[in-house]
Structure 1
Amino acid sequence: MVFPRSMTVLDVSEITPVDIKESPADDSKSIGIVYGKLMHVDVIQNLENGYSEISTWDYRSMRDIRGFVPTKLLKTVELNKKYGIVVALSQQKVYIYEDNALIKTFLCSSGLDDNNYFTPKGLYRIGERGESFFSPKYGQGAYYWVRFNNNYLFHSVPFDENRNIIEEEAAKLGQKASHGCIRLAIEDALWLYNNIPQGTPVIIKD
């Protein structure tokens, strides 16, 4: 498996949204948003007025989108060359590569694929991480989260408000079950957390 060596991102923080404009002008309306640092955008053309036309995935509508952003925000970044990750949604598996050779395969649970909860396909890179989080909105948390697109994370199967693993959710590994993140067994989430560096490419596909 050969991974890209670089990708184009928006040069703002991982949790900062950038408006995608309908036309290349400051007063043009926003038709979508994309978050910085971690998500690849395709540059269609650079215009003379300081805007560029891009094609990407809209975080709001959860659909492919084409629009305009300030050219000064575009940045080409180098990707980690040692590791690479492929998420195969149709198989509900995560493949870990080292020096382009497959070294690990993890069973996972991706988004449920309804209108609100699905896992976006595309090219990303690994960002920040943390030991755990809890979402009051869902009444769930998880261990060993690793970001690949704003609130989209790799993390363990979920725990409840008492930090106990929810066994019925853990039993769903291998089928679509999450709110959009990539769930992993605790030991697999810990391995990824400990071993995969920032800047590692992530390809999410069918």
Structure 2
Amino acid sequence: MAAIIRGNSLLQSLKLFYLSVTIVALSLGQQVSAQVTTKEGAATTNEGNPPLELSPVTEPKLPPLGSPSLYLPIEEASPTSTLTDTQLVIKLSDRKVYVYRDKQVKGSYPIAVGKAGWETPTGTFKVIAMQRNPSWEHPWSGKVIPPGADNPLGARWIGFWTDGKNFIGFHGTPQEQLVGQAVSHGCIRMRNKDILALYAQVAIGTPVVVER
């Protein structure tokens, strides 16, 4: 009877042992699964563990003060201006100024040129000054004429020659009926709408060629 009891007891002990092993195995499997899930980027399922931090790709940080250039997109460089390919050619005999771009004529405007004794100088120059709505000082009286409809320089001034005291350039005029004649003191007079158009096509340094 005792042997039977010992046998039954041994059998029960074996059953309890196998049951314990199964429970431990299941428990270990759950822990491994949780660890694998954590490594793949999802929040951990284990209580007490902090959630994983979000990647900067999905949640960018605010830029620190004083360092916006590290975070803001860099402004694209402006394409090379076509003004660098522009050249003005004044043909005194034609009473016109021609706008060349890439060595091709893109437009022309009628002009008034210097009168006898005040001829417009010939040669190769470049734009050295540009001014919107310029004032004009009378060369003899010193009286200053402010910008406006009666200003002898019109709406724009584009200077291309100077001897340090006198200046010659393109400008508008309130006497547009004289455009096409030799009436100036060397400057190139233009209709106001034309000087506005020319002003938008040149820059400081634009070559100016004056031919007879």
- TM-score by length of structure 1 reads 0.52
- Per-residue CA shift, 1:94-129, capped at 9, x if unaligned? 000111111111000010022xx1100000011111
Q: CA deviation at 1:81?
A: 4.1
What SS class does the counterpart of residue 178 from structure 2 fall into?
coil
The two structures, once aligned, show a CA RMSD in angstroms of 1.7
Runs of at least 5 residues in structure 1 that lack an aligned partner in the other structure: 1-79, 158-164
User: Which has more helix, going by share of residues?
Assistant: 2
Q: Distance in 2 between matches of 1:194 and 1:202?
A: 15
Which residue identity lines up with residue 141 of structure 1 in the other structure? Answer: P
What SS class does the counterpart of residue 197 from structure 2 fall into?
helix
Deviates more, 1:131-140 or 1:170-179: 131-140
Which residue identity lines up with residue 208 of structure 2 in the other structure? Answer: V
Q: Distance in 1 between matches of 2:137 and 2:116?
A: 20
**1:82 and 2:112 matched:** no
Q: CA deviation at 1:189?
A: 0.7
Deviates more, 1:192-201 or 1:119-128: 192-201
- Name 2:106's counterpart in structure 1: 103
Runs of at least 5 residues in structure 2 that lack an aligned partner in the other structure: 1-82, 144-150
- Name 1:161's counterpart in structure 2: none
Identity %: 28
The higher radius of gyration belongs to: 2
Task: Please list, as runs of the form range in 1=range in 2, the aligned pairs for 1:168-187 lying within 5 A after superposition.
Answer: 169-187=175-193
- Name 1:137's counterpart in structure 2: 139
Contact 1:113–1:119 (8 Å) recurs in 2:
no
- Name 1:22's counterpart in structure 2: none
Which residue identity lines up with residue 136 of structure 2 in the other structure? Answer: F
- TM-score by length of structure 2 reads 0.51
Residue of structure 2 aligned with 1:197, choices 197, 200, 203: 203
Q: Distance in 2 between matches of 1:119 and 1:135?
A: 20
Q: Distance in 1 between matches of 2:158 and 2:98?
A: 16
Q: CA deviation at 1:187?
A: 1.1
Q: How many residues align?
A: 115
Q: Distance in 1 between matches of 2:84 and 2:156?
A: 23
